[in-house]
Structure 1
Amino acid sequence: MREQSFGSGETVVRRDMHRGRVWSAQAQRVITDTKDVLVTACAPGAEVLWPALYARTRTENNATLRMAPFDELASGEWELTTARWQETELLLWKPPEAWFSINAFYTAAGLRNWYVNFERPMRRTRAGFDTFDLAVDLVIGPGLDRFAWKDEDEYAHVRRLGVITDAEHQEVEAARGQVLAMLADRTGVFATAELWASWRWEPGWPTPRLPSATA
């Protein structure tokens, strides 16, 4: 039995948790929730919490600071800052036991790209679900005809820091193969890629906001 289920339209919070602390949080809207998958969405203006140093790297576009937030993560000492999701609409597909989520990013022109985030399996909470981003990602073109791995250097760095264990590394390696097989066979979310490509955030939907007790 699932710990918690959510109705379409509810606001939920995706939290990245490390050592019992919130590393990041994002308010999202539930699209559908079944025993097989949770689908949520986000849009510009949605409230987020980010590590302050990470937010600084985004604001300043400072490549020299790129690895610094991970050093804070390894130390267990970081500060959070509030921010807003910007630029893209997001649709997230997360099977309950998977070591990844598959995300679709949209601009005004339509589906920009697919983005596979390798992460821990979700643990449902009263407010949403907890997971933890494991740094490495796979970027897939909107037509599913090309892909590229992203942030392998960050992944190697957090492994060296001990943030990602050897056991988790093995799970990520297995998950890489699972996702590539899904892409090749057009299974899972990729079986309905055309429907996903036509999805858009409804203008009348309220902007997701974080509850006050998120952190």
Structure 2
Amino acid sequence: MTTPFEPGATVVRREIMRGEPWIAIPQICVHDDGELLVTYTPGGSPFGYPEDGTFPVGRHPWLLAGSTHWRGHGRLELHWTGVEHSVFLFWAGEEREFQGWYLNLEDAPRRTPIGFDTLDHELDIWWPADAETYEFKDVEEFEETGPARYPGRMAEIRAEGDRIAARLDAGDLWWDKSWADWTPDPSWTPRDLPPDWATLPYESR
């Protein structure tokens, strides 16, 4: 098993699209026991976009939109080994009010010396904190962009969304709800990406 990251360590989340890096975000390790990896992206964290590549599905949409840094209170991510989704948590406002659970369909994390590699699957499930149930997000976008981004994987990604929805419908919430009350260490500030982040070896799906 890969040695877990220590709390406070920099963890680089890279997305690998069609065999090459697409975006990278430096995050901070909150918890890592080898099975559950929890990372935090402080507001102001920079986005890294590779300079070189073939970009078979085009550049990352955030780059095309001119986004260079994470905004707001930051994002907490819960990742499980071998699981094809993560759970994101968001907060807003001066009181840092919890907004809800965002179940992000993505590649199961593949550990690297600097963090982990994954790929967002576009399709998501959002359960607002004040809502009785959830809703699927970006369904049309997934159907439009998915065949090029995830060739041969559309059915399995849809199946993962259905599996998550079935567990939610059954009241089977598999993550610790107390993360909603979590607050970051006030000394944690945005981290820098290592200079070799785009060339560090990676595995593709």
The TM-score range, normalised by the shorter chain, is: 0.7 to 0.9
Tell me which of 93, 112, 116 is aligned to 2:103.
116
Q: Tell me whether 1:205 sits opposite 2:204 in the alignment.
A: no
**Kept in 2: contact 1:99–1:171 (CA 8 A):** no
Report the equivalent of 1:65: none
State the one-letter code of the partner of 2:187.
Answer: G
Query: What SS does the aligned partner of 2:21 have?
Result: strand
Gaps of 5+ in 2: 199-205
Name the count of aligned residue pairs: 189
After TM superposition, which residue ranges in structure 1, 4 or more long, deviate above 6 angstroms?
Answer: 79-82
TM-superposed CA distance for 1:156, in Å, is: 0.7
Tell me which of 108, 112, 123 is aligned to 1:125.
112
Measured in 1, the distance between the counterparts of 2:21 and 2:90 equals 24
- Larger helix proportion, structure 1 or 2? 1
TM-score computed with the length of structure 1 as normaliser: 0.78
Tell me which of 73, 89, 92 is aligned to 1:88.
73
Measured in 2, the distance between the counterparts of 1:144 and 1:39 equals 25
Instruction: Describe the shift of the 1:51–1:158 C-alpha distance in structure 2 as closer, same or farther (beyond 3 A).
Output: farther
Q: Tell me whether 1:18 sits opposite 2:1 in the alignment.
A: no
Identity of aligned residues (%): 28
Tell me which of 87, 95, 110 is aligned to 1:102.
87
Measured in 1, the distance between the counterparts of 2:115 and 2:25 equals 10
Report the equivalent of 2:202: none
TM-superposed CA distance for 1:177, in Å, is: 3.1
Root-mean-square deviation over aligned CA pairs: 2.5
